[in-house]
Structure 1
Amino acid sequence: MKHRGRHRRRRRGRVLRAVLSGTALALTAAATLISASQATVGDNPGALKPLTSAAELGRLRLTEQPVPKRSLDRLAAAMGRPVGVGAVLRSADRTLRDAADCTPQEKKALPVEPAATRAYCWDAADAATHQWQPESVTTSGDADDDGRWGANRVILSGWTHSGGSGADRGPARVAFVNANDPEHLTYTWALLVVPIDGGRDYRGLVSHMSGMVWYQDKLLVTTSGGERDALYVYDLHRIQRADVDSDAIGRVPGGWSAHGYRWVLPAVASYRPAGGRCDRATGSAAPCPEGLSLDRSSAPDSLVASETVPAGSARHTRLWRYFFSRDPARSGLLAADSAGTVVADEAYETKADGVRGVLSHRTGRSARTDWYLGRASGTQGGHGTLWRQDVRGAKATHCGSGGAHRCWGDGTGSLSYWEQTGEVWSLSGRVLFALPLSSVDRALG
């Protein structure tokens, strides 16, 4: 288990760079995915526009709202001593299928170019359900710069229940994936909850979870729908065990239930837009983060966010970053003033719409920061685009000889960069995959 104040140890010699045999996955009938209807450079969103005025940056302010420690302690006293990530991984009861065991339909969702070098499909029962949708991913490469959490390499994937809308939507869950052996990934589930009644009970987090970042001992996730906050925060040292197996969520006769899952993560804080509630339907000045990622190339490390603007709307998409706190007593939390206000360090507008995933990364001594944007296809079963933008212009990955740019995954979600291996992790359809960031740069048109 990590100590809270420790997060910058370098152990480069222990980095594992495992890949599947061969240089890339063979995709079934890839040529059929590249058609004359593909987008060309006419979709080019152009250069990023910096947002520099105090008013523009001020609209992105957040207010930190901690859950009282006495509430968390009361819940822990009632449920039993919290456990860490290692205990959850040891209880893994499901196995991810290797790419060779994925169905042709599952693999069809993968990027065409650059091709995935690793791909995994979920346990058959989880892959078949239509009530849950995988939306986000983060790894122990985000959590600590040695790429491990304790002795473990870990992947977390956030899933949203799609059984309803708004307040009727089901709870959110996280897959804890043991990635120590790249040829045999196992996982189990934990339910995200919010303490209520002073820690005497909890409710499920009712929200889309389109973005998530694990930094130090905290997991930050996006919220929408029934939840009013922009981000919720979970402590990976405060994982609780549910002892009653039922569909209920919260305190029940005989103990605690978590919708049939063994593990529960109670929220320890949230971040709410300081200027009013986010309105995704009509667009609002308040931040509505959809994509999240960690940028370790900034100083200090930062949380990068993007919003989603529907295709065809007149609105531009905002991209922005918040710095993480350097205070050891605030491990994994955003930098905030004494009033709990968090300000954006920088922000941009892009003409790109339908953005689902965002990465920000500066290579070596370059003064330029590249922003990578994954865009949805806008059509059922179609492939999206992956753009690299900066203040000078934009380039997209391309496939085939005709200059087609819709080469990215089908419904690809959030992006997470694992610095130690140089890989970008993402989800496409219902497939978890990775590919080198260098291969993205090589595929840019």
Structure 2
Amino acid sequence: MKHRGRHRRRRRGRAVRAFLTGTALALTAAATMISASQATVTDGPGAVKPLTASADREALRLSEHLVPQAALDRLAAEMGPPVGVGAVLAGADRTLRDGAHCTDEERWALPVSPAASRAYCWNGADTEGWQPGAVTTSGDADDDGLWGAHRVILSGWSRGGGPAAGRGPARVAFVDAGDLERLTYTWALLAVPVDGGRDYRGLVSPVSGMVWYQDKLLVTADEGGRTALYVYDVNRVQRATVIGEAVGRVPGGWSAHGARYVLPAIASYRLGGGPDAPHPTGVSVDRSTAPDTLVAGEWTLDGGDRGARLWRYAFDTAPGRAGFLSADAAGRVGAIEAYRTEATGVRGVLAHEDAWYLTQGAAGDERRGRLWRQDADGARAVTCGSDGAYGCWSPGTESLSYWAATGEVWTQSGRVLFSLPLAAIDRSAE
């Protein structure tokens, strides 16, 4: 169990900051070439605009649904005692390649500007047929950047070719980031208990948004058009006893689609639905607010006629509610702030102090994505030097995760996991 007796926010900027320092990662020539015809920032999404009408807030309301404790206890009794993050990391049996050993094709996923300071590549055989999604870290979980004695990165993936087009089971890589020269990891299947805890099914959804806060992992899910956040407890990881493609109870034990571990959901948050309900895509933690908040962005069509909504929920501070969102007695969770941006096709969303950072993927004939820094005064794009070209970002980042103790932003695109200083993003967007 995580010890929580530290003084919050006072340990930022200490020796842990050295954890992610180093020279900027050099990109290949292919990754640094920018077309001479690249557009410049002549117009942008403008300032974020507050949404204050009650109808706007109502569309963002969540309802909390807890998995019965008896079901979780029954599953643990059948599968064996749950384990924690430390035990999972001790079983890490795979290694990420350092950026110097990534292929030119893989390096294309890196941003041109600002340059990544760290980069690692996932093994092709290990991720073939899987779609990369969100990233979160122990920097989200606690403001000292540690979970116990560990520095950890969690990376979400979903399987293609499932029952819905392009969808299949979802999983999370637990990455031991204690030694940045050698990142090791292992997989845990994201699951949902069924039949009163006698079995589980896989979460069938892309993992576009994921946040680790205290001992809870919140994951965006879109199953059959029903949008939700599923909640997992990182202290309740179960071991799979049979290594196979099946999911759930099988002859001889429990299988997790090839993963060694299973994370069963303990709760979910669901939007009320209706024609104005948003489709959340990216989520992240904002530790610059009091209390800490979960921020979310809405999926909209690339180049569509409607910009995205951005909003935040407060994390609960009540005893026994660590990691849950702040809900009323009826289990309703209201957005405490909401905004509209004119940006479309928003994927990753990050908020820190008075700024919102939004990523857009490569669209149309563009080969790269964009990153915007927005606030109440306007918007600035991350640019590629003095010519003002702004298609400089990675083409497919689904999420942004800010490691406050080190000042770094972590994300992934394609088979590349990378980080860079938030200060570098701010300088590029000035």
- Structure 2 length normalisation: TM-score? 0.95
Q: Does residue 399 of structure 2 align to residue 398 of structure 1? A: no
Q: Deviations over 1:63-98 (max 9, x none)?
A: 000001110011001111000000000000100111
Deviations 1:98-118 (A, max 9, x none): 111111111121001100000
Secondary structure of the structure 1 residue equivalent to 2:320: helix
Letter in 1 for 2:252: G
Contact kept, 8 Å, 2:17 with 2:407, in 1: the verdict is no
How far the C-alpha of 1:380 sits from its partner, in A, is 6.7
Q: CA deviation at 1:164?
A: 3.6
- Provide the C-alpha distance between the structure 2 equivalents of 1:216 and 1:80, rounded to a whole number of angstroms: 24
Equivalent position of 1:429 in the other structure? 414
Counterparts in 2 of 1:325 and 1:438: CA distance versus 1, 3 Å: same
Corresponding residue for 1:371? 356
Are positions 1:196 and 2:194 aligned together? yes
2:76 maps to 1:85 = no
Q: How far 1:16 moved relative to its partner?
A: 4.6
**Which residue of the other structure, out of 163, 166, 170, is the alignment partner of 2:164?**
166
CA drift at 1:7: 8.7
The structural deviation recorded for 1:31 is 7.2
Return the offset for 1:38: 2.4
The answer as to 2:305 corresponding to 1:317 is no
CA RMSD of aligned residues (A): 1.9
Q: Does 1:236 align with 2:234?
A: yes
- Structure 2 stretches of 5 or more lacking a match? none
2:174 is paired with a residue of what secondary structure? strand
TM-score, structure 1 as length reference: 0.92
DSSP 3-state at the match of 1:71: helix
Match of 2:147 in 1: 149
Give the SS at the match of 1:223.
Answer: strand
Q: Is the 8 A contact 1:30 1:112 kept in 2?
A: no
CA contact (8 A) 2:227 2:279 kept: no
Contact 1:167 1:225 in 2 (8 A): no
The aligned counterpart of 1:288 is 279
Q: Deviations over 1:15-56 (max 9, x none)?
A: 1523475x3111111575311342322341111111011111
Task: Confirm or deny: 8 A CA contact 1:147 1:153 kept in the other structure.
Answer: yes
1:182 paired residue number: 180
Bigger mean CA deviation after superposition, 37-46 or 67-76 = 37-46
Distance 1:406 1:246, change over 3 A: same
Task: Decide whether the 8 Å contact of 1:169 with 1:226 is kept in 2.
Answer: no
Q: Could you tell me how far apart the structure 1 residues matched to 2:400 and 2:268 are? A: 22
Residue in 2 that maps onto 1:281: none
Q: For the residues of structure 1 that align with 2:46 and 2:89, how far apart are their CA atoms? A: 44
Q: Which residue of 2 aligns with 1:18?
A: 19
1:332 aligns with 2:333: no
Q: Is the 8 A contact 1:34 1:400 kept in 2?
A: no
Contact 2:3 2:148 in 1 (8 A): no
Q: Which residue of 2 aligns with 1:206?
A: 204
Question: CA contact under 8 A between 1:206 and 1:227: conserved in structure 2?
Answer: no
- Deviation of 1:287 after TM superposition, in Å, equals 2.8
Partner of 2:115: 115
Q: Sort the Cα spacing of 1:255 and 1:4 in 2 relative to 1 into closer, same or farther, 3 A.
A: farther
Q: Secondary structure at the match of 2:280?
A: coil
Query: Which stretches in structure 1 are left out of the alignment for 5+ residues?
Result: 278-283, 363-368
- Mapped contact 1:196–1:202 kept (Cα < 8 A): yes
1:132–1:159 CA contact under 8 A, matched in 2 = yes
CA–CA separation in structure 2 for the residues paired with 1:160 and 1:382: 23
Using the alignment, how far apart are the partners of 1:197 and 1:152 within structure 2? 35
> Would you say 1:263 and 2:248 are equivalent positions?
no
- Partners of 1:302 and 1:219 lie apart in 2 by 14
In structure 2, how many angstroms separate the alpha carbons of the residues matched to 1:164 and 1:33? 37
Q: Give, in whole Å, the separation in 1 of the partners of 2:169 and 2:366.
A: 26
CA 1:16–1:89: 2 relative to 1, 3 Å: farther
> What secondary structure is seen at the aligned counterpart in 2 of 1:42?
coil
Structure-2 separation of matches of 1:31 and 1:184: 24
Instruction: Write the distance in 1 (CA, Å) between the matches of 2:80 and 2:31.
Output: 55
Query: Percent same amino acid at aligned positions?
Result: 66
Of the structure 1 ranges 228-237 and 76-85, higher mean CA displacement relative to structure 2 is found in 228-237
Alpha-carbon distance in structure 2 between the residues aligned to 1:7 and 1:409: 36
Structure 1 residue 132 displacement after superposition: 0.2
Task: Tell me how far apart the structure 2 counterparts of residues 322 and 74 of structure 1 sit (CA, whole Å).
Answer: 32
C-alpha distance in structure 2 between counterparts of 1:333 and 1:8, whole Å: 18
Q: 1:219 is paired with a residue of what secondary structure?
A: strand
Q: Deviations over 1:158-197 (max 9, x none)?
A: 0011224627831000000000001110000000000000
Structure 1 stretches of at least 4 aligned residues deviating more than 6 Å after TM superposition: 4-7
Q: Give distance in 2, aligned partners of 1:318 and 1:334.
A: 19
Q: Over residues 269-305 of structure 1, what are the superposed CA-to-partner deviations in whole Å (9 max), with x where a residue is unaligned?
A: 001112x26xxxxxx4113210000000011000000
Could you say what secondary structure the match of 1:329 adopts? coil
SS for the counterpart of 1:195 is: strand
Q: 1:57 and 1:333 mapped to 2: Cα distance?
A: 20
Match of 1:133 among 131, 134, 137: 131
Moved more, 105-114 or 331-340: 105-114
Give 1:365's aligned residue: none
The amino acid that maps onto 2:337 is E
Cross-structure match for 1:408: 393
CA 1:4–1:332 in structure 2 vs 1: closer, same or farther (change >3 Å)?
farther
Contact map agreement 1:167 1:206 (CA 8 A) in 2: no
Deviation at 1:426, TM superposition (A): 0.7
What is the CA–CA distance in structure 1 between the aligned matches of 2:290 and 2:163, rounded to whole Å? Answer: 39
Could you tell me whether the CA contact under 8 Å between 1:319 and 1:348 is conserved in 2? yes
Aligned equivalents of 1:348, 1:156: Cα separation in 2: 28
The residue identity in structure 2 corresponding to 1:158 is G
Q: Could you tell me whether the CA contact under 8 Å between 1:207 and 1:227 is conserved in 2?
A: no
- Aligned equivalents of 1:4, 1:164: Cα separation in 2: 40
- Note if 1:105 corresponds to 2:105: yes
Report SS of the residue matched to 1:89. Answer: helix
Flag the 1:108–1:20 CA change in 2: closer, same or farther, 3 A: farther
